[in-house]
Amino acid sequence: MTFEGQYLTYAEYQALGGSAIGEMPFNLLELEARRKIDIRTQNRLIDSEEIPEVVKVCMFKLINSIQSYCQATENISSNGNVASENTDGYSISYITPNQISDVVASKSVELEDIIKTYLLGYIYNGEHLMYVGVE
């Protein structure tokens, strides 16, 4: 499977200091991060020949954030939703559905904050990258 139109290549990811994931998982995370940016920018970058540096850094931050979220949810799944365990008195606490919802909501806010931090107010090809209003 080939991944075309990447905003950040695996080599660029590594050059920025990324090393926690292999190339194929990176490609999948890059696609997810790219879609999040495309949604917020009204697809303004899709046919771009050169992706601005600020977008590449934003992608790097998004990929790392999505990766950490994936690892956290994988740990929850592999632990059977166990939040804590005390073997002395043998008690187990489980993560509630509300706590899981809170994690998902906070991750969505975190991803949105990353996008806004890097792309809000950035002018690309004469217009604000995240502009969605009417002129």
Q: Give the global pTM.
A: 0.79
Q: What is the pLDDT of residues 21-79, one digit of tens each?
A: 999 999 999 999 999 999 999 999 998 999 999 999 999 999 999 998 877 666 555 55
Contact (CB, 8 A) for 6 and 28: no
What distance in Å separates the CA atoms of residue 71 and residue 24, rounded to the nearest whole number?
Answer: 16
84-117 tens-digit pLDDT? 666 676 777 776 666 666 776 778 899 999 999 9
